[in-house]
Amino acid sequence: MNIPTDRSEVSLTFLSEADAETLFRLVGLNRSYLRQWLPWLDSSTCVEHTREFIKGVVKRSEESAGFVCAIRFQGSIVGVVGHNAIDKSNRISYPGYWLSEAHTGRGIMSCAVRSLINHAFTELDLNRIDIRVAVGNHKSQAIPDRLGFVREGVVREAEWLYDRFVDHTVNGLLRSDWMARPNKITGANPGQR
C-alpha cells in the first residue's frame, strides 16, 4: 500500500520484508548520525534484526495498531516514517521518523509527515497526532513546528539514550485544527508561502 504525497519524487510505501537488506544498509551508512537521537542502533547490528523489526511492523499493521512506511526519494529508500503506535480507543497516533543524513534539508521529511497526517485524519479517522521529540534534537523538532503542531509541554527524563536520560517535548495536533487549515496538503499556515 502507498500513501500519496504532494511531491512526485517522494513516495511512502509500507515496509515489507523485501526492504530489509536495503534498510539495514541505509542504517549502517548513517549509524553514527542516527545514534545521536535514536536509542535502538546498538541493538540493530545485522540484517536479521531489521527483518524482525519489519515483521513486527507488519503485525502491528494487521492489528491496526500502527504501521511504518519506507520514505522513497526518486525511488530509493532514504528513511522511514510511520505510526509507531495507534491508540484506537482514543484515536491518537504516536508517529516516529528518521531520514538519512544526505537527504536532510530538502523538505523530504516535512512532505512525508504531512502525508502521514493527511492519511491519519482523512483515512484512519484519528483525532490527534502526538509527536514526541528529544529536547535538543532541533532537526526533528522542526517538523512538528513547521506543520503547525502545538508544543504542549516537556516530559522529563522520558527516554534512556545509551548513557543518559533525555527529556521530550510533546507536540500535539488535533484533527479539527488540521482540517480547518486552508492549505492542508502543503502544510502551509495562513500567511505563509
Residue 185 maps to a domain: no
Domain limits at 23? 2-180
Torsion, Cα of 107, 111, 113, 116 (10° steps): -170
Residue 189 has pLDDT above 80, yes or no: no
Residue 89 maps to a domain: yes
132, exposed or middle or buried, with CB in 10 Å at 0-12, 13-18, 19+?
buried
| Residue 26 neighbours by CB distance under 10 Å | 24
Residue 191 maps to a domain: no
Residue 131 maps to a domain: yes
Residue 193 maps to a domain: no
Reported as a pLDDT band with limits 50, 70 and 90, residue 15 is very high
CATH number of the domain enclosing 42 = 3.40.630.30
Query: What pLDDT, on a 0 to 100 scale, did the predictor assign at position 187?
Result: 52
Residue 113 maps to a domain: yes
Per residue in 116-168, pLDDT tens?
A: 999 999 999 999 999 999 999 999 999 999 999 999 999 999 999 999 999 99
Residue 186 maps to a domain: no
Per residue in 71-108, pLDDT tens?
A: 999 999 999 999 999 999 999 999 999 999 999 999 99
- Cα–Cα distance, 114 to 185 (Å, whole number): 7
Reported as type and span, the H/E element at residue 174 is: strand 165-174
Pairing of the two strands 92-99 and 128-134: parallel
For residue 61, what is its C-alpha cell? 499493521
Residue 132 maps to a domain: yes
Residue 190 has pLDDT above 60, yes or no: no
Q: How many domains does the chain have?
A: 1
- Cα–Cα distance, 24 to 31 (Å, whole number): 10
Reported as a pLDDT band with limits 50, 70 and 90, residue 42 is very high
Q: What is the pTM of this model?
A: 0.91
